[in-house]
Structure 1
Amino acid sequence: MISFPSFCLILTILFTKIPTFKSQSSPPSFSSRFLDSVLQDYAFRAIPTHRPKTGVIYDGNVPSNLTGSSVSALRLRTGSLRKRGFNGYKEFDIPKGIIENPYVERVILVYHNLGNWSEVYYPLPGFLYLSPVVGLLAYNAVDLMGKGLPELDLRAPEDPILIKFETFRVLPDGVSPVCVFFDLFGGVAFEQVLNGSVCSAVTQGHVGIVVEESSAAPVPSPARVPEEPIAGGGGGGGGGRRNKGWWVGGSVAGGVLLAALLVVLVLWVRWCRGTKRIEKMKDAAERGVPLAVAAVGRAEVPVAMGTRTKPILETEYVS
């Protein structure tokens, strides 16, 4: 027979073990700065740990849920970078005179090309992207296995860094595109496009070419890859998959809850039946045959009932 405290304990365990499912229909909550940290890790993985070469561009692999983007790493001596610069690092031409703060002996320049993820991580309401968003970030090269490293403060005090976009969307006549620059602190700045497809910057960050939506006819966006986001939520697509996961999670949760309620109901019925059986036994015990009471002096004591067979003395057998 299960006691009431045990019943309450079982009830508590059942309900605390029921899993909860969070709806995945909400948009991704991580920021572009978190993306920078992830891409830094994948860019550093592309550099060989045994005798890495200086001045060689190493193309890295991005996670499967960022298909359509690319990342690269370039390891340089800071003295050589300041004296000579570096031209032809993807879209970036880095001039001489570059300085970094704090000073390090070697620097790794990480390149980002967000491709069809540009509008996801760098949304710009009222504008259309004509080019992918590309980025250039500087890190200390002392730890090639480091993750989540802070960026160096990279600046071009003399000549600006040039970003040369090779291809972007064709625009109607009379429409003027502009360069948009995103710094590492959330700032956004617009500059004129140079020579039709060139942007300039004096510090590290992300750059793209955009046009106002009101001045250009709508251009269909490239299809986004329906992948899950980096850290396990939904990132830029995959709405059908999220809805399917929500339904599966809700069905599992409903099934577990229904099974728990059935178990609780069975235990409750058994407990009620046991309680009633005990009460009946107590009532039967209390309703036993009462003894006769006789007065003995001033007290009343129970006495046995008279026997049905009257005793016969031995002398009565003598005739």
Structure 2
Amino acid sequence: MISFPSFCVIFTILFTKIPSFNSQSSPSTPQISYSSRFLDSVLQDHAFQAIPRHRPITGVIYDGIVPANLTGTTVSVLRLRTGSMRKRGFKGFKEFDIPKGIVENPYVKRVMFVYHNLGNWSEVYYPLPGYLYLSPVVGLLAYNAVNLTAKGLPELDLRAQEDPILIKFKSLKVIPDGVSPICVLFDLFGGVAFDRMLNGSVCSSVNQGHFGIVVENNAPAPAPVPARVPEEPIAGGRGGGGGGSRNRGWWVGGSVAGVVLLAALVVVFVLWVRWCRGTKRMEKMTDAAERGVPLSVTAVGRAEVPVAMATRTKPVLESEYVS
């Protein structure tokens, strides 16, 4: 009897490895689709089968045969010695130019490069909403070449140290007006990156993966250039010239006059404020002088009359000076 954990494992393998069938199909659309990573494993197996088992030649490109349900896809394989690859690289592996200085991790004595061209399967395995493909998606993956009969090998970690890997697309679809094609990179971990295109139809990358050229599907058409209104000729001196310089002189003169006028208004305002403050101060001093020192008031009979304050020096009669 199968335990519940074992049943879960079997269920997961069946639904990740078995191809899924689409409910609708057309002559131009593939009827069976795998996941992109499982497709890499299938194409690696068929690419390795293209290498002769007896004395395979290093540096020779071998074309593989894909299964019938992947018609439209092409696969090729190339085996290189690591030392030779690092010193000289390899140009012309289909669309790819492998530069010198490539480093693989982990280190292996021979590297097996597998090439993919997905053709009309490109949008099935690498859908990109909002974009249109101008080229098929092509791939370059590196494996250890120690065992030519191995299946499901993991890819090597490949990185360009000096010059980038170049992908030279041979033909592109018609480019719509008003849009610029760009390169798209799909790495082995599900990431998508965009980059500018070089020399018309060339992309570059420092890593392995799958590549294509796309344009935005909903890119707006370029705005029409407004018609230029002819300028009325300005009467000038000899030869009809000098109108622009006169206009520029009027503009500069008007700006200078405006600045001078603004400065004059500021000076007048400051002087007016100071005059107002001085006038108020003089009025206060005048009022204080007119009011004088207030006298005390005392009652004399029924009337109240002001009385001067007593002086500090007591008056002395003349008779008091006579002894």
Identify the TM-score tier after normalising by the shorter chain: 0.5 to 0.7
Change (3 A) 1:134 1:24: closer
Of the candidates 105, 121, 124, which is equivalent to residue 125 of structure 2?
121
Structure 2 letter corresponding to 1:70: T
- Displacement of 1:132 after TM fit? 0.2
Residue 197 (structure 1) aligned with residue 186 (structure 2) = no
Structure 1 letter corresponding to 2:72: G
- Displacement of 1:47 after TM fit? 0.3
- Displacement of 1:172 after TM fit? 3.0
- Displacement of 1:214 after TM fit? 1.3
Percent identical across equivalent pairs?
A: 78
- Displacement of 1:216 after TM fit? 7.8
The separation in 1 between residues aligned to 2:22 and 2:107, in whole angstroms, is 45
Gaps of 5+ in 1: 1-22, 218-319
The separation in 1 between residues aligned to 2:45 and 2:218, in whole angstroms, is 39
2:256 maps to which residue?
A: none
Structure 2 letter corresponding to 1:183: D
Residue 137 (structure 1) aligned with residue 141 (structure 2) = yes
CA contact (8 A) 1:179 1:190 kept: yes
Report SS of the residue matched to 2:204.
strand
The separation in 1 between residues aligned to 2:23 and 2:154, in whole angstroms, is 30
The separation in 1 between residues aligned to 2:170 and 2:71, in whole angstroms, is 21
CA contact (8 A) 2:78 2:114 kept: yes
Change (3 A) 1:162 1:216: farther
2:88 maps to which residue?
A: 84
Structure 2 letter corresponding to 1:107: V
CA contact (8 A) 2:134 2:173 kept: yes
Q: State the TM-score, normalizing by the size of structure 2.
A: 0.58
Structure 2 letter corresponding to 1:122: Y
The separation in 2 between residues aligned to 1:124 and 1:150, in whole angstroms, is 26
Deviates more, 1:103-112 or 1:168-177: 168-177
Residue 170 (structure 1) aligned with residue 170 (structure 2) = no
Report SS of the residue matched to 2:128.
coil
Of the candidates 54, 61, 76, which is equivalent to residue 58 of structure 2?
54
Change (3 A) 1:24 1:93: closer
The separation in 2 between residues aligned to 1:89 and 1:116, in whole angstroms, is 21
The 5 Å alignment of 1:213-224 reads 213-215=217-219
Report SS of the residue matched to 1:54.
coil
- Displacement of 1:31 after TM fit? 1.1
CA contact (8 A) 1:172 1:216 kept: no
1:98 maps to which residue?
A: 102
The separation in 2 between residues aligned to 1:118 and 1:25, in whole angstroms, is 16
- Displacement of 1:24 after TM fit? 5.5
Change (3 A) 1:50 1:216: farther
Count residues in correspondence. Answer: 195
1:36 maps to which residue?
A: 40
Residue 179 (structure 1) aligned with residue 183 (structure 2) = yes
Change (3 A) 1:48 1:179: same
- Displacement of 1:173 after TM fit? 3.3
Structure 1 letter corresponding to 2:135: S
CA contact (8 A) 1:111 1:136 kept: yes
Give CA deviations for 1:200-226 in whole Å, capped at 9, x if unaligned. Answer: 010100000000001289xxxxxxxxx
Residue 161 (structure 1) aligned with residue 170 (structure 2) = no
**CA RMSD across the alignment:** 1.7
- Displacement of 1:30 after TM fit? 3.6
Change (3 A) 1:25 1:109: closer
Report SS of the residue matched to 1:214.
coil
- Displacement of 1:29 after TM fit? 7.2
The separation in 1 between residues aligned to 2:169 and 2:71, in whole angstroms, is 20
The structure showing larger relative contact order (alpha-carbon pairs under 8 Å, at least 6 residues apart) is 1
The separation in 2 between residues aligned to 1:84 and 1:49, in whole angstroms, is 26
Of the candidates 64, 73, 94, which is equivalent to residue 77 of structure 2?
73
CA contact (8 A) 2:33 2:125 kept: no
Report SS of the residue matched to 2:41.
helix
- Displacement of 1:174 after TM fit? 2.8
